A = this chain, B = another copy of it.
Amino acid sequence: MKIIKDIKSLKTEIKKHKKSGKIIGLVPTMGAIHSGHLSLVKQIRKKADIVITTIFVNKKQFNNLADFEKYPQTIEADIVNFKSAKVDILFVPENKEIYPDNFVTQIKLDKITDNLCGKTRPGHFDGVALIIVKLFNIITPNLAIFGEKDFQQLQIIRRLVNNLNIETQIIAAKIIREKSGLALSSRNLRLDEISLKKAPLIHQILLKMKQQILAKKNLKSVIDESSKELAKSGFGTIDYLEICDEENLEPIKIFNSKIKARIFIAVYLGKVRLIDNIRLY
């Protein structure tokens, strides 16, 4: 695995592979690599000749500086993990390599960034869109893979790529869960033992809600009861617990099996904010 820190060397390396007709697959990450990420590497490997991963904790997508500062940094372990997953190139740029002094450009998406995580994390998806456009321009991958756990991010990236005529094909990867049902997340590293035991309830509640919704139970009461159950079990603030159209991410008031919909949740457990989602079709 080649570890590259600067854009120029990375571009030279990529041009070499492109010239010989290789398919480039990209897995962008912020590090703190877990089996979810490694599963993305495994999935893209099936379609790509050269797998590139990136580790860059993108300050611009943190609306909360404390969250940025607390973001787990486990670079040595990440390198070991990527090496065993047979990643070809790891790109680990410094902040100034990505955002030099003269940096003034912003990218914004209307509406689709307003609901769900966009509500409590203003600017978050603008930061995501910016780093994705930059990485795609630097790496020009044929394919890039994103997990459905960050479903809003996935949809925003799909829209961005469509709107800006970017050539990269976006692949969606199913959520990887612990046996307990807890969705894998770098943030799980911040959960203490007690919280780790509680966290799987999120997925259990989503499964129960799905059953109730498919059995035509009123959406509002399904949401209200589930919210109460989370509170009773010791969860903190629920940023959102909503049923949305998965295309435009707008809330659905009456369930209709013809609309591709999902239940989306963001909830605090202690100081850690966890997200999950489940499809209703």
Contact = CB atoms under 8 A, between A and B. Distances in A.
Interface stretch (A30-38, A102-110, A198-206): A102-110
A202 to B, nearest CB: 30
Interface of A is mostly: mixed
Contact of A104 (B7, B106, B163): B163
A122 to B, nearest CB: 15
B112 A109 contact: no
A164 interface: yes
B102 A105 contact: no
Counting chain B CB atoms within 10 Å of each CB, the highest count among A7, A104, A159, A160 belongs to: A104
What is the oligomeric copy number? 2
A60 to B, nearest CB: 12
A106 B105 contact: no
Nearest to A248: B102
A166 interface: yes
Nearest to A106: B108
Contacts of A20: none
Contacts of A102: 159, 162-163
Interface stretch (A132-140, A177-185, A219-227): A132-140
A111 interface: yes
A13 interface: no
A167 interface: yes
A257 interface: no
B106 A109 contact: yes
A147 to B, nearest CB: 22
Contacts of A109: 104-106
B166 A137 contact: yes
Interface in A73-105: 100, 102-105
Given A138-B165, A165-B134, A105 B7 contact: no
A134 B100 CA distance: 23
Contacts of A133: 164
Contacts of A164: 105, 133-134, 137
Nearest to A107: B107
Interface string A210-242: 000000000000000000000000000000000
A109 B106 CA distance: 6
A167 B137 CA distance: 8
Nearest to A165: B137
6 contacts: A7-B165, A102-B162, A104-B112, A105-B159, A106-B109, A134-B165
Q: Which 4 A-B pairs have the closest CB atoms?
A: A105-B163, A104-B110, A137-B165, A106-B108
